């Protein structure tokens, strides 16, 4: 395998030369954030007693729906970030990788369960997957981890349970479905005669950057991870919530109900929704919860297993690692398996 290419000199200069500006930017953003939060409190204090603040009905509905998703999901996102810091900065690198079975199938099965101890959503798993390859894992094995971890991780399991409990087999369907997809895709790509051809050249550089960055103390690393994860996750939460609210406000309920009760359209609609909104697996259960009253449970599971693996955001991130052809093949198999899992649950439950 020829993936460990040293980072270019330019990359190092890029990191070091711009530190003062990055620092200024951080203070600027901190100021913006503080003023923003203060403005929200001031607005609340000013408008709290008013019966109407002149916000049109649809906008009020949109804000209410979006805020409810944010309020429900935010504590879990913060928890996810904190756990991610613990795993990435404070646990030994090879804690989870010391002992693995020899058999490829069992080895992939074990790797697909790694996510249980790695409580980060799919955004955070890509760097971890790169790390696995650097430590000697095959590409299909790291792919198995990448597909399973966002679904199997404890934050996702907790939020899914929080949203749905054990109703209609949604939680169990998501966990087992995620494991099945990850292992089958891993098996399928293990048959590829040239695993390195799956990867893009650029991925090697990113791996190198990840392993050759400046040495940091654990505290610095923790702060760095916190800022990185927050800046990736928070916009996803807020924008995802707004899109979820907008869909419910904009799309007539009759259309949603008709779509949601049709065995085929409910599955396709959920996959399309998951693909477009690209919400993180840590919070997607809360996002989709309002749709549970109109969509069949299997369709919800399809959303919950398809979304963490294939969506606009993940394709963009994975494109840095895998070739377009591989992503197309991956998307096709994952879509069919997600649809199959949803159809089976709709039939059985």
Partner 1 sequence: MSPISISPRPPEGEHSIRSFRRTFALTVGVLLVLCGVFLALGYLQGPKLSSAQVDADAVVSSSDQTLRLFANQTLAAVDAGAVSVDPAVAATVSSDGDLISVQFSEALDYNTEYTVSVEGVVSPSGGSESTLTYSFTTAEPTLYYLDRGEPNDEIVETGMSSQERTVVYSGEGIEEFVPVGDVFAVSTAAADRTGTLTLVNPDTGVTEQVLLPEVGEVADLDAARSSSLLGFTISSLDPGPIPTVSHTLYTLDVNRGRDVVAVTGLDGEPMRVVGWQFVPGTTTIVALTTESTLVRVDTTSGLVVPLGGYFEFDRVSADGSTVVVVDARGSASVALVDGEELRLNPSPIDGEQPFLGQTDADAAGNLVAKMVLVSSDGGSFSSVLAYDDGEVSRILYQTVDDKGAILDFHVSPNNQFVAVEVQPNVSNFDSDEYVMNPRPQSVTTYLVEIATGAVTRSVEGFGLVWR
199: which strand partners? 322
Whether the CB-CB separation of 312 and 275 falls below 8 Å is answered with: yes
Residue range at the interface with partner 1 (CB under 8 A); choices 33-41, 61-69, 90-98, 303-311: 90-98
Query: Least separation, in Å, of the C-beta of 339 and partner 1?
Result: 5
Q: Looking at the chain, how many residues does it have?
A: 349
105: which strand partners? none
Residue range at the interface with partner 1 (CB under 8 A); choices 112-120, 185-193, 228-236, 315-323: 185-193
List the structure tokens of 125.
Answer: 């798993």
Q: How many Å apart are CA 86 and CA 74, to the nearest integer? A: 19
Under the binding rule (CB under 8 A), the answer on residue 8 touching partner 1 is no
Query: Least separation, in Å, of the C-beta of 234 and partner 1?
Result: 33
List the structure tokens of 308.
Answer: 């963490």
End-to-end CA distance of the chain: 46
Under the binding rule (CB under 8 A), the answer on residue 200 touching partner 1 is no
Under the binding rule (CB under 8 A), the answer on residue 327 touching partner 1 is no
Under the binding rule (CB under 8 A), the answer on residue 95 touching partner 1 is no
Within 110-139, the residues that bind partner 1 by CB under 8 A are 135-138
Query: Least separation, in Å, of the C-beta of 283 and partner 1?
Result: 24
**Residue among 113, 115, 109, 138 nearest 128 (CA):** 115
Q: What is the 3-state secondary structure (H, E, C) of 216-254?
A: CCHHHHHHHHHHHHHHHHHHHHHHHHHHHHHHHHHCCHH
Under the binding rule (CB under 8 A), the answer on residue 7 touching partner 1 is no
Name which of 77 and 149 has its Cβ closer to partner 1. 149
Under the binding rule (CB under 8 A), the answer on residue 1 touching partner 1 is yes
Under the binding rule (CB under 8 A), the answer on residue 279 touching partner 1 is no
Cα-based angle 39, 41, 47 (whole degrees, multiple of 5) = 95
Whether the CB-CB separation of 266 and 297 falls below 8 Å is answered with: no
322: which strand partners? 199
Query: Least separation, in Å, of the C-beta of 291 and partner 1?
Result: 11
**DSSP letters along 284-314, please?**
HHHHHGGGGGTS-HHHHHHHHHHTTTSSHHH
Name which of 82 and 188 has its Cβ closer to partner 1. 188
Name which of 1 and 251 has its Cβ closer to partner 1. 1
Under the binding rule (CB under 8 A), the answer on residue 332 touching partner 1 is yes
**Residues in contact with partner 1 by the rule CB under 8 A:** 1, 94, 97-102, 104, 135-138, 141, 168, 184, 188, 190-195, 257-265, 293-294, 296-297, 329, 332-333, 336-337, 339-340, 343-344, 346-347, 349
């Amino acid at each position: 395998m020829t993936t460990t290419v040293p980072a270019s000199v330019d990359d190092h200069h890029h990191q070091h030369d711009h530190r003062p500006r990055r620092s200024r930017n951080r203070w600027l953003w901190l100021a913006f954030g503080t003023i923003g939060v203060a403005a929200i409190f001031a607005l609340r204090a000013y408008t709290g007693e008013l019966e109407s603040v002149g916000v049109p009905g649809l906008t009020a509905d949109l804000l209410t729906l979006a805020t409810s998703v944010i309020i429900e999901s935010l504590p879990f996102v913060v928890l996810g970030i904190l756990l991610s810091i613990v795993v990435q900065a404070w646990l030994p690198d090879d804690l989870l990788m010391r002992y693995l079975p020899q058999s490829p199938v069992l080895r992939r099965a074990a790797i697909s369960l790694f996510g249980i101890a790695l409580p980060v959503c799919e955004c955070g798993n890509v760097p971890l997957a790169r790390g696995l390859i650097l430590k000697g894992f095959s590409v299909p094995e790291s792919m198995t981890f990448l597909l399973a971890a966002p679904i199997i991780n404890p934050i996702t399991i907790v939020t899914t349970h929080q949203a749905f409990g054990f109703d209609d087999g949604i939680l169990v369907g998501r966990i087992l479905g995620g494991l099945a997809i990850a292992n089958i895709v891993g098996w399928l790509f293990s048959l590829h005669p040239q695993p390195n051809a799956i990867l893009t050249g650029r991925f090697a550089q990113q791996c190198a950057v990840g392993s050759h960055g400046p040495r940091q103390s654990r505290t610095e690393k923790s702060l760095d991870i916190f800022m990185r994860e927050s800046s990736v996750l928070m916009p996803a939460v807020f924008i995802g919530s707004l899109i979820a609210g907008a869909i419910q406000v904009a799309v007539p309920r009759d259309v949603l109900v008709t779509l949601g009760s049709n065995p085929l359209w409910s599955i396709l609609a959920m996959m399309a929704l998951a693909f477009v909104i690209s919400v993180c697996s840590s919070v997607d259960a809360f996002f989709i919860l309002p749709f549970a009253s109109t969509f069949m449970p299997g369709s919800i599971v399809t959303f919950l297993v398809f979304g963490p693996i294939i969506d606009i955001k993940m394709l963009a991130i994975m494109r840095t690692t895998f070739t377009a052809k591989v992503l197309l093949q991956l998307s096709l198999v994952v879509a069919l398996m997600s649809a199959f899992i949803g159809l089976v649950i709709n039939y059985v439950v």
